[in-house]
Amino acid sequence: MEPVRRPRRNLIERTTKYSLAAIQFYSGLPRDTVAGILGRQFLRSATSVGAQYREAQRAKSIGDFLSKTEGALQELDETEYWLELLEGSGLVSRTAASELRDETAQLLAIFAAITKKAKERKWAN
């Protein structure tokens, strides 16, 4: 019988898959100056989400945890911005970015809920 998976582990795996999808997306961008600049910004913010969440797992306090989860939220919001610019500039099609946009939106909702719950716990103590 397979052990029950904890949500924390699932989110670690999910953010890792998100980073890998971002790397693959970046690798498929056109090889020009604008795509390179926007793409690197996108790649940096997208791959930072999983790193922020992993750091949150080792937080020393609720405040530290909140700092990391809010950092992940900021990185997700920034990733969404770079995707919008890549699409809006015509460097990638909406179809090519749709899965990443969907996952970004879902992760934004998850991290917003995690952060909200942690804030409630912090203020309850």
Q: What is the pLDDT of residues 94-112, one digit of tens each?
A: 999 999 999 999 999 999 9
C-alpha span between 86 and 63 (Å, rounded): 34
pLDDT on residue 6: 56
Per DSSP, 90 falls in state: T
No. of H helices and E strands in the chain? 4, 0
Of 20, 37, 44, 46, which Cα lies nearest the Cα of 85?
A: 37
* CATH class of the structural domain 7-119: mainly alpha
Please state the domain extents for the chain.
Answer: 7-119
pLDDT of 1 over the 70 cut: no
